[in-house]
């Protein structure tokens, strides 16, 4: 059932182009200009009445929600907060009938996420679920459901579920924008066009999957490392860091690159590996200067940038690139080399890749 792959995780990483295509599927109009979300029953008036959005989830799904915040805010101009479910439900959040609460859960059975959903409904909010399991508890209890068609995810470390959650957020952000007319029709069509290119761009990254292997083997000998980035790169860094910790047991921390000098820089020593994401055009120069800061203190830096941004080569020890896309869509590409990096690091350490110690696939206890 691993279809020739050594591990479910690797199989699921390779299933991502299909997961992207299936999740977009019939949700893009035949003329490629509009999003069709038939499963979202909210009327135009109800969408116009949304004052704010809360995205609530755990773990990797929370990391997808961090990207979702930027996606929805920039496309639909609705204020969004993203919270970890186990915090949200106990912090007496301000939920009104004009709040849309979006819960994100691969399994649809995570106890804290389900409890947050119930708390949101009790306060009169509408709840939209993004889930991978049709008929799960979260799917049954939410008002609207967007199913991510990633197919069953077996490995404990989430890969294709995360990326299809990103696709769901792009579709939803565009749908809200087109309903609220916060973007011109041409701008929406441009994003859709870029979105439709993602599956083949992921295929191109996967065709060269082995390029990160050497570097993964090198970091597998370390006990601590950092991921840094700004904006969406920071959110992908958070996911990359979780993935690495979860299956390789290497301690790592994801840091907003601009925060380094407020304390963390003290931890950089000769040889400390730093994985720096620099895919955001607007933030590129700023990130490069943070890379120089860590390199000057002896860090061994792996850069992740957009194809053609060779300028970074001068400041890093290793440079990996991803194909060019819109800045908003880069997370759907940049996370893939990081998934591969943790896979190969876990393998190099001889760990049980698919079943990391202490963890369960579905966390149904609080
Ligand atoms: O099924 P869910 O999406 O609700 O699960 C949430 C987290 O438990 C899950 O994403 C976890 O963080 C993954 N093992 C990370 O790879």
Task: Using pLDDT thresholds of 50, 70 and 90, give the confidence band for residue 270.
Answer: very high
Question: What is residue 147's three-state secondary structure?
Answer: strand
Whole-number Å distance between alpha carbons of 58 and 246 = 14
ipTM value > 0.95? yes
Q: What is the pLDDT of residue 310?
A: 81
Measured in Å, residue 157 CA sits from the centre of ligand 1 at 8
The sheet with strand 300-306 has its strands ordered as: 251-256, 224-229, 273-278, 300-306, 318-322
Question: What is residue 114's three-state secondary structure?
Answer: helix
- pLDDT, averaged across the chain: 96
Whole-number Å distance between alpha carbons of 321 and 314 = 14
Task: Using pLDDT thresholds of 50, 70 and 90, give the confidence band for residue 366.
Answer: confident
Residue of the CA atom closest to atom 7 of ligand 1: 59
Whole-number Å distance between alpha carbons of 73 and 53 = 10
Q: What is the pLDDT of residue 360?
A: 87
Whole-number Å distance between alpha carbons of 273 and 105 = 32
The sheet with strand 144-147 has its strands ordered as: 80-84, 52-57, 99-105, 126-131, 144-147
Q: What is the pLDDT of residue 89?
A: 87
| Average confidence (pLDDT) over 318-326 | 97
Q: What is the pLDDT of residue 365?
A: 84
Residue of the CA atom closest to atom 10 of ligand 1: 60
Pocket test for ligand 1, best of 59, 66, 88, 248 (most atoms within 8 A of CB): 59
What pLDDT digit, counting tens, does each position of 327-346 carry? 999 999 999 999 999 999 99
Task: Quickly count: other Cβ atoms within 10 Å of residue 63's Cβ.
Answer: 29
CA angle 82, 226, 348 (to 5 degrees): 110
What pLDDT digit, counting tens, does each position of 168-195 carry? 999 999 999 999 999 999 999 999 999 9
What pLDDT digit, counting tens, does each position of 21-79 carry? 999 998 999 999 999 999 999 999 999 999 999 999 999 999 999 999 999 999 999 99
Task: Quickly count: other Cβ atoms within 10 Å of residue 92's Cβ.
Answer: 8
Pocket test for ligand 1, best of 7, 57, 58, 146 (most atoms within 8 A of CB): 58
What pLDDT digit, counting tens, does each position of 136-148 carry? 999 999 999 999 9
Pocket test for ligand 1, best of 57, 82, 85, 158 (most atoms within 8 A of CB): 158
Residue of the CA atom closest to atom 12 of ligand 1: 59
Pocket residues: Cβ below 6 A from ligand 1: 58-61, 105-107, 110, 113, 156-158, 242, 246, 362-363
Q: What is the pLDDT of residue 205?
A: 98
Q: How many helices (H) and strands (E) does the chain have?
A: 13, 10
Closest ligand 1 atom number to CA of residue 107? 1
| Average confidence (pLDDT) over 234-253 | 98
Element (H, E) at 99: strand 99-105
Closest ligand 1 atom number to CA of residue 63? 10
Q: What is the pLDDT of residue 219?
A: 97
- Which residues lie closer than 8 Å to 84 by C-beta, 6 or more apart? 56, 57, 58, 62
Alpha-carbon separation of residue 157 from 104, 201, 241 (angstroms):
16, 22, 12
Measured in Å, residue 362 CA sits from the centre of ligand 1 at 7
What pLDDT digit, counting tens, does each position of 150-161 carry? 999 999 999 999
Closest ligand 1 atom number to CA of residue 243? 16
Question: What is residue 331's three-state secondary structure?
Answer: helix
Prediction pTM value: 0.98
Q: What is the pLDDT of residue 1?
A: 86
Residues 166 and 339 sit within 8 Å (Cβ to Cβ): no
Q: What is the pLDDT of residue 364?
A: 87
Whole-number Å distance between alpha carbons of 277 and 288 = 10
């Amino acid at each position: 059932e691993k279809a020739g792959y050594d591990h479910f995780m690797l199989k699921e990483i390779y299933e991502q182009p299909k997961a992207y295509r299936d999740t977009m599927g019939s949700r893009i109009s035949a003329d490629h200009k509009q999003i069709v979300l038939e499963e979202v029953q909210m009327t135009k008036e109800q969408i116009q009445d949304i004052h704010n959005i809360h995205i609530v989830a755990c773990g990797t799904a929370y990391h997808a929600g961090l990207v979702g915040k930027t996606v929805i805010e920039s496309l639909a101009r609705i204020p969004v907060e993203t919270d970890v479910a186990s915090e949200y439900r106990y912090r007496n959040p301000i939920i009104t009938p004009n709040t849309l609460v979006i819960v994100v859960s691969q399994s649809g059975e995570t106890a804290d996420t389900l409890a947050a959903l119930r708390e949101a409904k009790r306060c009169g909010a509408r709840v939209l679920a993004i889930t991978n399991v049709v008929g799960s508890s979260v799917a049954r209890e939410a008002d609207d459901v967007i199913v991510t068609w990633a197919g069953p995810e077996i490995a404990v470390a989430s890969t294709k579920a995360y990326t299809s959650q990103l696709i769901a957020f792009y579709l939803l952000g565009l749908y809200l924008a087109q309903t609220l007319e916060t973007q011109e029709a041409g701008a929406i069509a441009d994003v859709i066009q870029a979105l439709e290119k993602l599956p083949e761009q992921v295929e191109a990254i996967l065709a060269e999957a082995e390029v990160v292997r050497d570097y993964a083997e090198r970091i597998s000998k370390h006990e601590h490392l950092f991921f840094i980035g700004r904006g969406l790169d920071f959110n992908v860094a958070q996911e990359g860091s979780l993935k690495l910790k979860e299956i390789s047991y290497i301690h790592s921390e994801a840091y907003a690159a601009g925060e380094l000098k407020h304390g963390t820089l003290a931890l950089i020593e000769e040889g400390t590996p730093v994985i720096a994401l620099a895919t955001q055009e607007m933030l590129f120069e700023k990130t490069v200067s943070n890379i120089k800061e860590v390199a000057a203190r002896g860090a061994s830096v792996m850069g992740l940038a957009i194809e053609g941004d060779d300028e970074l080569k001068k400041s890093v020890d290793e440079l990996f690139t991803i194909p060019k896309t819109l800045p908003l869509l880069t997370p759907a590409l940049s996370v893939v080399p990081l998934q591969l990096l943790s896979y190969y690091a876990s393998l190099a350490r001889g760990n049980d890749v698919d079943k990391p110690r202490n963890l369960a696939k579905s966390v149904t206890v609080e």
